[in-house]
A and B are shown apart, each in its own frame.
Chain A
């Protein structure tokens, strides 16, 4: 010890001994004894900060996990005691360390990192402190201070290899690749790799190669790689060869790169990147418009690979993307025939990737139709005597049914599609895939309830299959049968938890989204918000889970995976799952802002009764639990219950727009390239009356896609709002100077041109919505535009028809809504959501009376 402890920290011998015991007891997890020892010291020295801190820590560690009701006050006591300890002894590393540990357990990373920094100030060379502190600094992305701490650590422990490696990574994360490489070279001359195990040597060398590539030092990297392979330090299988191919490509050494990609393809002939890398080194720019010459070059290459790797579909499938005309027809036919012969269920999903090209979509349809008609007449496709497998016709029906009902068909033929599937079912009535296909076709037609019944049939054919179980649950959710869905899911979730809880713990994103949507569609906005927040929380948990790996990966030496984790976490919320859930929640929040009365609960008498029943049940269960606890002699101490089980607190927020903004902020940073981010941002900012931020959202959206239909409506909306708003001079001048680039003509002209140009369902809907921004009362015109959604030459789109009805409901009369509804229903006779609420009720009642009566051909189907 360099200097003696300050007076207020010193204890007499007896207490000093107790204090040391307290430390040991904490480490041995003898919490009760520890607390007793602490109390003995505190009796005499109630202001001893370090004892207070250790008591707080011991108390905190003794609490049950998950926290129970009776433990809540103890937790609060521990937290308060830890803060008091700091006040009593602000220069002790122990008091700060404890405060840091408690903050860490709350996952308050920022506070923890500050507390650890303070602790280190008091005790700079304390190894465990430095280690925890590095993890916290890295976790909170303070790469500079983290690097400094790593450096300090290396000076204290220069003989440990791991300290060198960790410093290399710290430099890389801090963006200094040169320095990372320099540390590696120093390490090699200082420690000479003595005692390193072969996997350790391999991991660090591979990672240095990655750093070389990042630093653009391909030549040197290549030499190191060659040496490493030669010495047997790294295996040429997998990443090593990928790195080699990258370096050779970067250096423009095409022949060597081709050779290397060839080697990679021999290791794994199903990796699309390897094929693309090969083609790029043939001098073909795959991102540019292809010339006829490069097209035939690509196809030639792929066809020779298809011969070398007959068991890989990849080269044959890629060829469909790169071919056109008769060549496409020939290749597609061969590909489809092979898939149908093998009975590959995913063949349609696979092939429909080419449907972005409408000519190719048409050709695929012709090919399959021809196969179907040939096989219906004959047992063989070819002229020789070979017989096609008997299931081939069935799979051809299946493919064709999915093709003709595909949503981008101008006139999807649901009736014929269902007929084809029934024919297939006559052949094999026990194949779940056929019922799944029927369900999908019905879903596309908008008949959600019959779709769910068909999916249920698929599920019943193989009750052990969790995939079918999940699909059926999803279809029930879409049909609004939340209870039924939960009952199904419970067959595969933990028995002692409600299915929703288990699926939340399992981070099951689709379920949270779909159930949220189902609640929203039922008008239960509170529960919908609750599910969307649970979805957003999954991402928070995932981010928090990262913490342990800062230390773990340095120990396991999995540097490449670790650095990639760090980069992944930095853009985690660009995940489509977060995106979708966040947008749905934000939309609800803006609705709450526009009309706070929707937060008032509207429950039907049946729901009321159901709730009472549930409450009674819960009461009974509680009484039973109490009784059981009393007889077993233990005091009942249940875990802390959910503070907002119905989501009503979320919904009744005072600050819906701020809540929305919180969910939106990550998207601004991480999904800035998606136009929906900015369209949604506009809806928040315009309501917050932050006109410049709203303007920026519009301008950014415009830079992504200037013709996006929703953007056109928003421009008109923005113009209307700022015209009537009172704006400070400065803001006004910015807007007046920028507005013409968004709105080049008068609002009326702009709106008219939108109406004239509207061809897609989305354009039609937003053109109509725009009309109201020019003239609030112009229902006649808007309705006329919206009628186009029912036209025969427009792809039927139930979603926008539904939105159109909602729009007219707000602006017009019930008669106007109903006359529009009538037209839509003629175009989409099975679309459940388009029905009026009384019709819906009638239908539901009919359905609930039993499955009989809906064997696929719903009555609405025949109305056509």
Chain B
């Protein structure tokens, strides 16, 4: 799969458009050989709005790679100090990816964050680790 910066040419919804026209450096896509988007990360400075990989394209490490690209861009272009994201409390697979593979930590719990009433974990990753851990 081809991993590249997301451009207008690959977005077709208003949310993508808004991100691509506000923080063009931070969103990335994974594209299959036929040019179809099979995974993406939609991000703003210091925050991941959405990250997703189509089911058949799992086990390729795409989420990991997309996240790394977006993080490095945040530091290089905006000198970001940390990155946060929200995840459904029930989404164990995602929580494990963020925590065990990508080094995020849970820093907050937000009650009823999602439209259907489910709680969210707020997770955070610090780009420059402080000497003493809180």
Contacts and interface: CB of A to CB of B under 8 A. Distances in A.
A229 to B, nearest CB: 12
Contacts, number: 98
Interface in A501-558: 506-507, 509, 542, 545, 549, 552-553, 556, 558
Interface in A555-584: 556, 558, 560-562, 564-565, 568, 575, 577
Contact of A268 (B3, B13, B20): B3
Nearest to B22: A556
Interface stretch (B59-67, B96-104, B106-114, B122-130): B59-67
B55 A239 contact: no
Given A467-B55, A556-B22, A565 B8 contact: yes
A506 B13 CA distance: 8
Interface in B53-73: 54-61, 65, 69, 72-73
A754 B61 CA distance: 50
Contacts of A271: 2-4
B51 interface: no
A561 B69 contact: no
Interface stretch (A341-349, A708-716, A720-728): A341-349
A10 to B, nearest CB: 46
Given A238-B77, A507-B12, A558-B21, A346 B2 contact: no
A577 B12 CA distance: 11
Nearest to B35: A576
A270 interface: yes
A816 interface: no
A237 B24 contact: no
Contacts of A561: 7-8, 20-21, 24
B78 A199 contact: yes
Nearest to B54: A467
Interface residues of A, number: 46
A514 B110 CA distance: 38
A307 interface: no
Contacts of A235: 76-77
A238 B13 contact: no
A270 B54 contact: no
B97 to A, nearest CB: 16
Interface residues of B, number: 38
A272 B2 contact: yes
Nearest to A274: B4
A846 interface: no
B73 A238 contact: yes
A239 B65 contact: no
A350 interface: yes
A507 B77 CA distance: 32
Given A343-B59, A344-B60, A268 B69 contact: yes
A707 interface: no
A202 B12 CA distance: 27
A299 B3 CA distance: 21
A714 B78 CA distance: 58
A257 B34 CA distance: 27
Nearest to B78: A199
A420 interface: no
Contacts of A270: 1-3, 30, 65
A836 to B, nearest CB: 36
Nearest to B58: A345
A200 interface: no
Given A202-B77, A467-B55, A549-B21, A564 B7 contact: yes
B56 A564 contact: no
B72 A545 contact: no
A344 B34 CA distance: 18
Contact of B61 (A311, A468, A564): A311
A110 B60 CA distance: 49
Residue of B5, B60, B65 with most partner-chain A CB within 10 A: B60
17 contacts: A202-B77, A235-B77, A271-B2, A272-B2, A314-B1, A342-B59, A345-B55, A345-B56, A346-B38, A349-B32, A349-B56, A350-B1, A545-B17, A549-B21, A553-B21, A558-B21, A568-B9
Interface of B: 1-5, 7-9, 12-14, 17, 20-25, 30, 32-34, 38, 54-61, 65, 69, 72-73, 76-78
A-B CB proximity, top 6 nearest: A237-B76, A270-B3, A561-B24, A467-B55, A235-B76, A272-B2
Interface of A: 199, 202, 235-239, 267-268, 270-273, 311, 313-314, 342-346, 349-350, 353, 433, 465, 467-468, 506-507, 509, 542, 545, 549, 552-553, 556, 558, 560-562, 564-565, 568, 575, 577
